């Protein structure tokens, strides 16, 4: 959660960063772009390392370094330092996000793994939800609709509610999966992990469309909130189903390499 929280906490404060360091808003968004770039590159290193040196080393060491870079961002005196620490902070913070799925794959059998993954996925999804709430004012409700700083953060809880609904859907699918698993002679049935993802892909894209087309203040606030709810549900079901599917089709030895890719 701490890693994914850091990804979104910065984004809504982009305008303030631009004003303080006298750069354009477009340049200030590099803080988010570089974080995501580091987040994408990091797993290519941490996943293979966890297979060679073990999960603990590949999680605790890079996460400790990521915390140091977070302090560097908070105490930065110039714009360049913020950009550098954001990139390397994300590079090292990607380790727990990448490797936790492998840890759960080692600890739980296919019949139990779905519920364990639901808890992990909740932490991953909750981070970007909490980030804008604690970090700054969301643009849609704060700037476009003119809500105050506190009230404008509340709609983002809809994403969390959607994630909870997605978790329920995946837990239910785990029960269906267990029946197929036992019917196949206690052998993995990867394709049975995919139905939630199929539904989630529709909900995720539909939520994005709804948010984008109903942000204007003349449209009732409940409509973009419904979009956020669909977004959270769709993302959660896609994310968790993909994790479980990759773990089973690649096997434990190569599971993290598959997830990193």
* pLDDT 10s digits, 112-171: 777 777 777 777 766 666 666 555 566 788 778 888 877 888 888 898 899 889 989 988
Print the SS3 string covering the chain.
CHHHHHHHHCHHHHHHHHHHHCCCHHHHCHHHHHHHHHHHHCHHHHHHHHHHHCHHHHHHHHHHHHHHHHHHHHCCCCHHHHHHHHHHHHHHHHHHHHHHHHHHHHHCCHHHHHHHHHHHHHHHHHHHHHHHHHHCCCHHHHHHCCCCCCHHHHHHHHHHHHHHHHHHHHHHHHHHHHHHHHHCCCCCCHHHHCHHHHHHHHHHHHHHHHHHHCCCCCCCCHHHHHHHHHHHHHHHHHHHHHHHHHHHHHHHHHHHHHHHC
Rounded percentage of the chain residues whose pLDDT exceeds 90: 25
Query: What is the arithmetic mean of pLDDT over 203-231?
Result: 92
pLDDT of residue 260 exceeding 60, the answer is: no
Cβ atoms of residues 17 and 31 within 8 Å: yes
Burial per residue of 198-216, b for 16 or more beta-carbon CB atoms within 10 angstroms, e otherwise: ebbeebbeebbebbeebbe
Residues across the chain:
261
Residue, of 209 and 255, whose pLDDT is higher? 209
Would you state the pLDDT for residue 102? 75
pLDDT of residue 241 exceeding 70, the answer is: yes
- Mean pLDDT of the residues in the chain: 83
pLDDT of residue 101 exceeding 80, the answer is: no
Would you state the pLDDT for residue 221? 93
- What is the model's pTM? 0.69
From CA 245, how far away is CA 261, in angstroms rounded? 14
Nearest alpha-carbon partner for 44 in 102, 106, 105, 95: 95
Would you state the pLDDT for residue 244? 80
Would you state the pLDDT for residue 131? 62
pLDDT of residue 79 exceeding 90, the answer is: yes
Rounded to whole angstroms, what are the CA distances from 42 to 14, 16, 73, 157?
24, 28, 19, 29
pLDDT of residue 204 exceeding 90, the answer is: yes
Cβ atoms of residues 91 and 3 within 8 Å: no
Would you state the pLDDT for residue 138? 67
């Amino acid at each position: 959660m701490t890693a994914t929280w850091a990804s979104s906490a910065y984004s809504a404060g982009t305008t303030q960063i631009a004003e303080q360091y006298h750069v354009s808003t477009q340049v200030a968004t590099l803080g988010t772009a570089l974080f995501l770039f580091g987040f994408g590159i990091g797993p290519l290193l941490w996943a293979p390392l966890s297979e060679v040196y073990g999960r603990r080393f590949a999680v605790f060491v890079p996460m400790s370094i990521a915390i140091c870079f977070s302090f560097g961002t908070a105490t930065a005196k110039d714009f360049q330092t913020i950009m550098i620490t954001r990139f390397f902070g994300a590079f090292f913070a990607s380790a727990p996000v990448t490797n936790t799925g492998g840890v759960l794959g080692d600890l739980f059998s296919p019949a139990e793994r779905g519920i364990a993954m639901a808890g992990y996925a909740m932490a991953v999804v909750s981070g970007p939800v909490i980030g804008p709430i604690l970090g700054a004012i969301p643009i849609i409700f704060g700037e476009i609709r003119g809500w105050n700083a506190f009230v404008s953060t509340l709609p983002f809880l809809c994403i969390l509610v959607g994630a909870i609904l997605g978790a329920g859907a995946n837990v239910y699918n785990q029960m269906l999966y267990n029946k197929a698993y036992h019917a196949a002679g206690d052998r993995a049935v990867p394709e049975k992990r995919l139905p939630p993802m199929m539904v989630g892909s529709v909900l995720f894209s539909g939520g994005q469309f709804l948010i984008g087309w109903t942000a204007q203040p003349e449209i009732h606030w409940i409509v973009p909130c419904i979009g956020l709810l669909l977004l959270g549900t769709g993302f959660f079901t896609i994310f968790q189903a993909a994790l479980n599917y990759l773990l089973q089709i690649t096997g434990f030895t190569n599971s993290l390499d598959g997830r990193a890719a």
